[in-house]
Amino acid sequence: MNYLQSIRRENLVYILLNITLVIGGYFFLRYAYGVTDALPFTHEVILIILGSIITILITALLLNKQTEV
């Protein structure tokens, strides 16, 4: 029983860290997008970074789900 509780606690810590990272990253990218209003090319770079991060997260989730089965 203690083993299951430690796994759940560890998962909870990872979930909270991920949520914090996603929220912090969102606000950083939103700030960076707003700061780069003068240069449209930098908007594209910020959007490329955001798209890459989302693609990596979706791929990681799908691979994790695939290995569970």
Per-residue pLDDT 10s for the chain (69 aa) are 576 677 677 778 888 888 898 899 889 888 887 887 777 787 788 788 888 988 998 898 888 888 876
Residue-number span of the structural domain to which 58 is assigned:
2-68
- 48 φ, ψ (degrees, to nearest 5): -65, -45
Q: Angle at which helices 40-68 and 2-35 pack, to 10 degrees?
A: 160
What is the chain's percent helix, strand, coil content, to nearest 5?
A: 95, 0, 5
What's the confidence (pLDDT) of residue 20?
92
State the pTM of this model.
Answer: 0.55
| Number of domains making up the chain | 1
